[in-house]
Structure 1
Amino acid sequence: MDNLRDELLAVFDAEYRDHLRAIRAIVAAGCPGAQGLAEIFRRVHSLKGAARAVELPVVEGVAHALENRLSSLLSARALPDAADLAAITDTLDEIDLLMTATPPDAPAAPDEAATQVENPAYVQVPVARLDALAAAVHDLMAVADRHERLWAQVMDLLGDARAVMHAPERMRADPVAEFARMTRRLMGVGRERELMAGQIDRALLRLGEEVHAVTLVPAESVFGSLAAMARRIAREHGGPEAGVEVHMTGMDVQTERRVMQALRDPVIHLVRNAIVHGHETRAERLAAGKSEDLNITIAVTMTGVRLQVAVSDDGRGPDLRAIAARAAGQGLVHAEAPLDARQLLARVFEPGFSTRGKADSLAGRGVGLSVVAEAARALHGSVRMEQRQPAGTTVILTVPVSQRQRTVLLVENAGQSLGLPGRVIRHLLRVRRDEIRMLGGMPFAVVPHPPVGAGAASEQREEERVPLVPLRAFVGDENAPLPVRDGAVSVVVMEVDGVRCGFAVERMLDVRTLLVSDATAVGLDSELVPGIAWPREDQPVFVLSPDRLFARWRERGNGGGAHFSDVDSAAPVVPVRHAPLVMVVDDSITTRTLQKTILQSHGYDVCLAVDGEEALAMLQQSSRHVDVVVTDVEMPRMDGLALLAAMQGDAHLAHIPVVLMTSRNDGEDIRRGMEGGARAYLTKQRFDQGELIDTIRGLL
């Protein structure tokens, strides 16, 4: 029964907020007519019944008293006067305070009523949003079904291969035809896999977007109850006659629930600060030409990809002299240093700063504004205070709209770290200067395809060429050359809407999963750079929008001619030499991708295997010599130590150096690996890409 009541209370929490939100909107629109009054009555009646259902007699009684008053107005066909509207507002405030107060059986914490938020167990989601989410899940299930069919084809092909092994006479009849038939089937599986990879990316992207949309909440759901709280704080500070009018704008703005709720406490601090520091007696306000009651405005706006919450008041405004004296007393500024208003107002967010001479339960301890600044920093945002004209104060919180994890390829660009979303990357290439094709004055790179057997020459895929453009031409210098390092260009081939382009980068750094915030990057194009991540506090990563990057590329006519950063265009053509081939064996796709990126960025060719069994088969069947094997230890089917033993037992493979890279750093594990024939043992806990590259160079 307790669980059932908890669920009902959670549902009631959302329902009562919806009723209060609608009633406040009617009252805010002006004196309601008969239709508006009837709607208020209907909602109060529903609220009373819902409170009775969840056994909240106090809330039920408050709603019942208002219902009786509204019923009398409806019976007399009278419109509500100022007293009636005040009674409606006071009742809504009282219900808000009752619902946000600490439960009777729970220990009370200081001002806990001011920090309660709506029950997180239930959220209201529009039916259309649920339909879209269901459609996204359906798309992903379709991909899974397609994957099962593809796997069945692979197993059929494997069965045929085994049948040939056990019945070699099938190959003697017409081996070329048999091999060509199996090759065609294998290439068909490969084409299906490529198509499915794009479908998976699109399905996951759509699902992620729909799930993200479900997490959005309107500002009103978090800040709507603050008006009642402000009136209560005003009475506590200025006595029963103290009044405050709270105005709210932008309450329909939506952003992530986590971000919006993280701003609730800072906004409460700002409202309390406005009441305490902006308080004036009624006589003082009237003498200054103001209304009798203090006016506070909470305004929520969306500016580009940033959320802005401004708390303004028309009180006495900041006392710059008192702020300067306090700042000098705390050693924050030099006593005789000339400071403007902006510099002084920035000091109020320092810990322990307060201009009140005496602390009480509401203010004076120098905590409130430092809490606001800390909350802004935690969300990678900012806060500032401004003087209002002709009187009053405004404090503006600005934070990124959302933060979410994305897998990005980190590249270097003119000393900056840029992030390229992994979902659109199709190939990572190292193209030698002499291998770049010039067609119509434009540079192109050839995308390599997996080799096929000689018996299937007719099935050879047509050569794929992608245009080459320097990434720096779109982020920095329009006339940037193609960057050449060690005689080759590092190229990231990306695909958007079926179109591929190779963006030449100065260096590939890493593959990381980062928490990316929507933010306007200072000094960069906010459309091209909508996201920013902070893998380290002092090193931001600017995440590019692939859609905008491709749009800019098209706008420039797919680039211009080609010139190179450090290579003479008349340099003699040298014979093509293959880079050393490194095999990476690991059951983690993230680890494989990371190591592949690092190795390719340093000029190595890379082949991948998911476990020891696949690696051993590739080593025994590959037409190209593998120079170094870098393998994990713990893997399904065949682990790294078993792979090492199998290679040591094969005369054709025993000479290939093996590097063990694993999270197992026990001395016994290291001894077993080295005695088993490994040439190096690296641990993932202290992984250093420089150490990996140095180790491989030493082995070669």
Structure 2
Amino acid sequence: MESLQQELLAVFQAEYRDHLRVVRDILAAGPPDAHGVGEIFRRVHSLKGAARVVERADIESIAHALENRLFRLTDGHQPAQPDDIAAIGRAMDRIDAAMQGAPPAPPPVSSPAVPGGEDAAESYVQVPLSRLDALSGVLHDVLAAAGRQDRLWAELDDLAALARRHADAPPADPAAELARLTRALSALSRERGRLAGQLDRAMLRMDEDIRAVTLVPAGTVFGSLAGMVRQIAREHAREHPSEDGDGEVTVRLLGMDVRADRRVMQALRDPVIHLLRNAIVHGRESASRRRQAGKPPVPVLTLSVRMVGVRLLVSVSDDGRGPDLDAIAARAAQKGLIPPDTQPDPDTLLALVFDPGFSTRPQADHLAGRGMGLSVVAEAARALHGAVRMEAGQPDTTQPDTQSWGTTVTMSVPVSRRQRTTLLVEAGGMTVGLPGRAIERLLRVRQADLRVIDGRTYIPLADRSDSAAPPAEPALVPVVPLAAFLGRPDAAPPVSLPIHDGALSVALVAAEGLRCGFAVDRMREVRILQISDAQAAGLDSELAPGVGWPRGDRPVFVLSPDTLLGRWNKGGAPGPRIDGPRLDGLHIDGPPAGHRPAEPAAAPRRRAPTVLIVDDSITTRTLQKTILQTHGYDVLLATDGVEALSTLRRSAHGIDVIVTDVEMPRMDGFALLDAVRADPRLSSIPVVLMTSRNEETDIRRGLEGGARAYLTKQGFEQGELLDTIRGVL
């Protein structure tokens, strides 16, 4: 049961963030209408039920109080008032802060926690359906290539057998037979080359798609911290009532759409929390001082995420009084970190604050003062092979008047410690790498097929759609020599297209809405490389931010596709833009539902009863599924009534009982019950309603509507669920 509880808690972590994200998006769009209030009510109701499953009574209590307030609005068809909106926001912040809890105890400095180690907790990620569709398409291509490969070997075996027969009994016309065998072998060789190319491209796409599953937007890790910060600031103000201000802060989140390795960002989450707590304490100043400095009346905290080359930069800024360099110097001298009566430069002083136990705060409280927070931040950055830096002021070009305000702490770490798929190409006498994620196609174009329009060269690009419609006119895509971007434009003559043996090798690169073909001398191979920062005097690190080591001590610079396309576009070369992301590969719906083969009469097999669980809470679904599967039931899942009906009507095997929640989007449990009872094919399936709604009117409505049982989630007992299902079967 302990492992089940851990799994449920991990699922609940993802579910509660999804609910809070939706509620905050509704509030951010303006005062919610009746539909918006109803959606918030449903989300809070689901959150309350999920919190009960994982025994988080504190979350359940907050959600229950808010649910009562929202119910009065929905029941009376009243619009949300400003105090209602404020109450919803405060409740979301309280839930967020409760889920964050106190930061973990600082790890020993000598043994920092490394993400992804043996002690890493099991976690879950949400994968877009489009990503799964793409993986299905790639798998389809790989299986098709495997089938072609089998046929290829079979044909080769046939030719080998024929050659052996001719060796034993020479044909009447050996020359003609030899010519026929030669043609057949040549055809097989060409087919093998096409097959190898198809497999290489499919495996490249599969590798990139699988790796992309681990890349998540920064908002999924840091987006929920805003509410926690606001709640911490309010609590800090209550604990220090003598200080000015009511504890309200404005939290800005920038770059939340930046994608990076989930493990890297997750490892930075606790350090970011430390920095935000420090900003609340050390950046706080009186309202009168803020007015005198011309600052906004409410303090502003900013969490920003940026990508620079192959490094992830996570910064926490405040607009408070800024670092006190004199106090830092005095404390450093007291600790023996600098000689007495010396005044090092600001950068040296600010680097000392990351020393364990360093703090300028005279008294410690539960938020700051022990001097361990910043040392934990530094150790976390070093564990990820990164660094951390403190600066005075806010480096925000959008607010030039705030340059001298506050403090900024920036952690710089590699985007991912994972290896990356890279296409190695030769261009202009150099071997460079192109990231596989940005390569849309690899082409071999005959010189006769090139089109020259207004002095610029294009290649025709046929649509690879599998539709039965007549083929469209090929699109024209610009093509330029890659070597033209690798040298110094002011010192090198114009570079011509590298045409070899009457054809052009082209890597079609697409990123940031641009698409262009880059011609190379030769495509060498696709390799999985460990990429590190490329730093050297005179190196164009913007174009080549990374370096890999495919062959011992011979490094290969890996180009940035965004920079490459940006420089091509800035140079004035015209080309069509991409309206949206392309999806390579076919969507596989799976085998159609059909009649199952009959069991032999002599050896009948008993089928395990199948239960369809319908609930919009993934935590509740996971709990019920685990319980039922443990006791021998087959389980199907649906998130609402619409999906449940679809499953019921297309399922290849019978469903023996339905266990459904009541509060769900699109179609609730009562409507699902009515639909099941109205369908002659489904009306015999017993329905069990299991919900948090325990009002007598709801119970009567369910039972009169045809439900065989009505269970409430309050005081849930798995034995009651099992006994109920056995009773209705």
TM-score range, shorter chain: 0.5 to 0.7
- Where does residue 25 of structure 1 map in the other structure? 25
1:259 aligned residue: 264
The letter for the 2-side match of 1:309 is V
AA aligned opposite 1:194: G
Aligned equivalent of 1:502 = 521
Q: Deviations over 1:242-276 (max 9, x none)?
A: 61424132334433312321321221121122123
Match of 1:158 in 2: 160
> Any conservation in 2 of the 1:494–1:501 contact (CA below 8 Å)?
yes
Give matches, 1:491-530, under 5 Å: 496=507, 501-502=520-521, 513-516=528-531, 523-525=538-540, 528-530=543-545
- CA distance, structure 2, for counterparts of residue 361 and residue 555 of structure 1: 53
In structure 1, the partner of 2:626 is none
The match for 2:190 is 191
How far apart, CA to CA, are the structure 1 residues paired with 2:332 and 2:488?
A: 41
Query: In 2 relative to 1, CA 347–511 (structure 1 residues): closer, same or farther, beyond 3 Å?
Result: farther
What is the aligned-residue RMSD (CA, Å)? 5.2
* Structure 1: distance between partners of 2:566 and 2:286: 59
| 1:134 alignment partner, one of 133, 136, 147 | 136
Aligned counterpart, 1:148: 150
Shift of 1:89: 2.9
SS in 2 for 1:263: helix
Write the deviation string for residues 656-678 of structure 1: whole angstroms up to 9, x where unpaired: xxxxxxxxxxxxxxxxxxxxxxx
Q: Give the Å deviation of 1:96.
A: 2.6
Structure 2 counterpart of 1:395: 409
- Written as runs of structure 1 = structure 2, the 5 A alignment for 1:260-279 is 260-279=265-284
Residues 1:474 and 2:469 aligned together: no
Distance in 2, Cα, partners of 1:365 & 1:518: 35
| 2: CA distance, partners of 1:473 / 1:177 | 53
Count of residue pairs the alignment pairs up: 492
- 1:161-212 residue CA offsets vs partner (Å, 9 max, x unmatched): 33344x1x316x4433333332322222221121122111211122122223
Q: Which runs of 5+ in 2 are unaligned?
A: 108-112, 394-401, 444-480, 494-503, 509-516, 572-729
Identity level (%): 56
Which residue does 1:650 correspond to in 2? none
For 2:82 and 2:486, locate their aligned partners in 1 and report how far apart those are by CA, in whole Å: 63
User: Aligned with 1:309: secondary structure?
Assistant: strand
Residue identity matched to 2:251: H
Deviation at 1:281, TM superposition (A): 5.0
* Paired residue secondary structure (1:170): coil
Q: How does 1:578-589 map to 2 (within 5 A)?
A: none
- Tell me which moved more, 226-235 or 207-216: 226-235
Distance 2:344 2:431 in 1: 36
Aligned to 2:667: none
Aligned partners of 1:178 and 1:477: how far apart in 2? 58
Contact 2:299 2:319 in 1 (8 A): yes
Aligned residue in 2 for 1:64: 64
- The residue correspondences of 1:287-302 to structure 2 (distance < 5 A) are 294-302=299-307
Contact 1:473-1:480 at 8 Å conserved across structures = no
Structure 1 gaps, min length 5: 103-107, 427-468, 482-492, 557-700
Q: 1:46 to 1:187 in 2, by over 3 A?
A: same
- What's the secondary structure of 2:408's corresponding residue? strand
Would the alpha carbon gap of residues 110 and 238 (structure 1) be closer, same or farther in structure 2, given more than 3 Å must change? farther
2:124 to 122, 125, 131: 122
Match of 2:314 among 301, 309, 312: 309
- AA aligned opposite 2:105: P
Q: Compute the displacement of 1:354 (Å).
A: 3.8
- Please tell me whether the aligned partners of residues 401 and 517 of structure 1 are also in contact (alpha carbons under 8 angstroms): no
Mapped contact 1:73–1:80 kept (Cα < 8 A): no
Structure with the larger RCO, 1 or 2 (CA within 8 Å, 6+ apart): 2
Would the alpha carbon gap of residues 191 and 476 (structure 1) be closer, same or farther in structure 2, given more than 3 Å must change? same
Give the C-alpha shift of residue 524 in structure 1: 4.1
Separation in 2, partners of 1:323, 1:261: 31
In the superposition, relative to structure 1, how do residues 411 and 10 fare at CA in structure 2: closer, same or farther (>3 Å)? Answer: closer
Per the alignment, do residues 475 and 140 of structure 1 end up closer, same or farther by CA in structure 2, a change over 3 Å counting? farther
Structure-1 residue corresponding to 2:225: 226
C-alpha contact (below 8 Å) 1:496/1:547 kept by paired residues: no
1:254 & 1:547 partners in 2: Cα distance? 15
Deviations 1:470-496 (A, max 9, x none): 979824687679xxxxxxxxxxx9763
Q: TM-score, normalised by structure 2?
A: 0.55
Alignment match, 1:217: 216
Contact kept in structure 1, 2:34 and 2:77, CA below 8 Å: no
Q: In 2 relative to 1, CA 63–226 (structure 1 residues): closer, same or farther, beyond 3 Å?
A: same
Aligned to 2:105: 110
- Are 1:318 and 2:337 matched, yes or no? no
With 346-355 and 119-128 compared, the bigger mean Cα shift is at 346-355
CA distance in 2, matches of 1:328, 1:54: 50
1:247 pairs with 2:237: no
Q: Quote the offset at 1:71 in angstroms.
A: 2.5
SS in 1 for 2:80: coil
**Which is worse superposed, 68-77 or 370-379?**
370-379
AA matched with 2:322 = G
In structure 1, C-alpha distance between the alignment counterparts of 2:164 and 2:561, rounded to whole Å: 44
- Does structure 1 retain, via aligned residues, the 8 Å contact 2:482–2:518? no
CA deviation after TM superposition for structure 1 residue 409, in Å: 9.1
Change (3 A) 1:55 1:521: farther
| Residues 529 and 545, structure 1, Cα contact 8 Å, conserved in 2 | yes
Report the 3-state secondary structure (helix = DSSP H, G, I; strand = E; otherwise coil) of the residue aligned with 1:396.
Answer: strand
User: Displacement, 1:55?
Assistant: 5.2
Q: Deviation digits for residues 392-433 of structure 1, max 9, x if unmatched?
A: 11223344544542466999999x99657799999xxxxxxx
Q: Secondary structure at the match of 1:124?
A: coil
Q: Once the 2 structures are TM-superposed, how far is the Cα of residue 316 of structure 1 from its aligned partner? A: 1.9
Once the two structures are overlaid, the 10-residue window that deviates more, 355-364 or 16-25, is 355-364
Q: Could you tell me which amino acid in structure 2 is paired with residue 205 of structure 1?
A: L
Alpha-carbon contact 1:402-1:517 (below 8 Å) kept: no
Structure number with larger C-alpha Rg? 1
Do structure 1's residue 543 and structure 2's residue 558 form an aligned pair? yes
Decide whether the 8 Å contact of 2:426 with 2:432 is kept in 1: yes
For the residue of structure 2 that corresponds to 1:310, the secondary structure is strand
Say whether the 8 Å CA contact 1:235–1:243 is kept in structure 2: yes
Within 2, Cα distance between the matches of 1:296 and 1:307?
Answer: 20
Q: Would the aligned equivalents of 1:472 and 1:478 in 2 still touch at CA under 8 Å?
A: no
Q: Indicate the residue corresponding to 2:178 in structure 1.
A: 179
Q: Tell me if structure 2 keeps the 8 A contact 1:215–1:256.
A: yes
